[in-house]
Amino acid sequence: MGSRLPEYKVGQPTFVLAIGGQDVERHRLESMGIFPGAEIKLITKSKGGVLVAVGEARISLAADAAVQITVA
């Protein structure tokens, strides 16, 4: 069982296990490179959202999108 992305440790690489939410939200995240099996790293987090690294890209996600991502 994984944990929600905002609950994960900052600076620690992890893998996406699943993405919840509606199809539109999942497709938007997948288009940014966030999909099950992708390696991501949580760079910073705040009440408003998170900043993650996906490959060479840095992606800012709102809190409601970040909680839909399960990582391990």
Per-residue pLDDT of the chain (72 residues; tens, 9 = 90+): 799 999 999 999 999 999 999 999 999 999 999 999 999 999 999 999 999 999 999 999 999 999 999 999
- pTM value is 0.94
Model pLDDT, residue 1? 79
Domain-wise residue ranges, the chain:
3-71
With b meaning 16 or more CB within 10 Å and e meaning fewer, what string describes 35-65?
Answer: beebebbbeebeeebbbbebeeeebebeeeb
According to CATH, the topology of domain 3-71 is: SH3 type barrels. (2.30.30)
Instruction: DSSP letter for 43, please.
Output: E
Model pLDDT, residue 19? 98
Model pLDDT, residue 55? 96
With b meaning 16 or more CB within 10 Å and e meaning fewer, what string describes 2-22?
Answer: eeebbebeeeeebebeebeee
* Owner of token pair 């949580």: 42
